[in-house]
Structure 1
Amino acid sequence: MEDDARVVEVVPYDPAWPELFEAERRLLSKALPGALSVEHIGSTSVAGLAAKPIIDIMAVVPEVDAIVADLRPLEQLEYVYRPWVFPEDRDHLFFPKDTAGKRSHHLHVFGVRSPVPGENRVFRAYLEANPAAARRYEAAKKRAADLHPHSRARYGAAKEETMAQLSAEARRWSESARRQSPEG
């Protein structure tokens, strides 16, 4: 018997998301005392953007191997290590967390050498600065969720083309801003 509960649902922006992140950031800062940063990323970090109601968090650490060597601090916060989610990137660890039986957080831990944190920051800043781009991303997410409400993998694949286009735009936008800045 198949469960009809949606695993992918895109909901209107919730103004509580920044507060939920901040509460989790405080906990993670204690669990990861060597972290260089703990940041809110993903769609829930962009004010006004519809999103899956899952708080995406990015932590940058000096060495990911140190985190894997002692998972207890994250396990105590009910994060579950999923070692094979990003097998192509040894500097990217993934930890989902469920609250009350439902996915509530995704923790992405990156080594300091990884380029991904910078890419995530640029993407977030681009969506914040460009409402039309944010709306395109939101439309792609809603379409993907409607097409694939029972598969996170298919949902991700369905929005991948739009995300790749927006990521390329974000990189060009960031490079242009750097060239125009006085420090350029």
Structure 2
Amino acid sequence: MTDEAPVVVVVPYDPAWPERFTVEQRLLSEALPAALSIEHIGSTSIPGCAAKPIIDIQMAVPDVDAVVADLRPLELLGYVYRPTAFPEDRDHLFFAKDTAGKRTHHLHVFHVTSSVPEANRVFRAYVAANPDAARRYEVAKRRAAERCPDSRAQYGAAKEEAMTQLSAEARRWSEAAGQQSPGD
């Protein structure tokens, strides 16, 4: 990657993203057989949604400390542990994977009791089921990428207001429907 290349780019939906997740899911399940679930989350998991071309994955495990104690299985797959990504949440580990100098995967590992995976499932289901929400999500991501092409952190902050609003809508939608999220 050159210094001039933007770090954050939002691209049209790629129908290859689900298969890229499936390949990675198999590798991760072999690397960490204690994982209780491995799921595709984020924009690339929503059919038709524009996204950064990075596959976001969430994994639930019975013991996050055991994952940190032996990082080798994930390192062998190319994942790099980023301990400062979510320092306020001891039950949330973050790993990034680059392939040929480009970020290709984000892995979020959660303790099985964390409420974050369920919130991610509800968000995914809501945006996938609601074309207006999907449109607003895409607009927020594109604007954030245009404003902050050189920083993932600034990109995230720039779309935070829209994410907070959509997350609140998703919770209300789920509660009103008595919704059980996919994957339950």
TM-score interval w.r.t. the shorter chain? over 0.9
Aligned to 1:85: 85
Letter in 2 for 1:39: E
Partner of 2:107: 107
1:51 matched to 2:48? The reply is no
For 1:109, give the aligned amino acid.
V
Paired with 2:40 and 2:114, the residues of 1 have a C-alpha distance of 17
1:153 maps to: 153
Deviations 1:30-78 (A, max 9, x none): 0110111000000000000000000000000011001001001000001
Normalising by structure 2, report the TM-score.
0.95
Give the match for residue 167 of structure 2. 167
Amino acid in structure 1 at the alignment position of 2:39: E
The whole-number CA distance in structure 1 between the counterparts of 2:145 and 2:84 is: 24
CA distance in 2, matches of 1:170, 1:32: 31
Shift of 1:3: 2.0
Partner-residue secondary structure (3-state), 2:133 = helix
1:38 aligns to what SS in structure 2? strand
Instruction: Name 1:23's counterpart in structure 2.
Output: 23
Letter in 2 for 1:126: Y
SS at match of 2:110: strand
Q: SS of the counterpart of 2:81? A: coil
The C-alpha deviation readout for 1:86-130, integer Å capped at 9, x for no partner, is 000000000000011100000000001110000000000001110
Letter in 2 for 1:146: E
Q: Which amino acid aligns with 2:83?
A: P
Match of 2:119 in 1: 119
What is the match of residue 60 of structure 2? Answer: 60
Cα offset, 1:135, TM superposition: 0.7
Q: Secondary structure at the match of 2:123?
A: helix
Percent identity reads: 75
Q: Secondary structure at the match of 1:127?
A: helix
2:182 alignment partner in structure 1: none
Unaligned runs of 5+ in 2: 180-184
Give the paired residue count: 178
Unaligned runs of 5+ in 1: 180-184
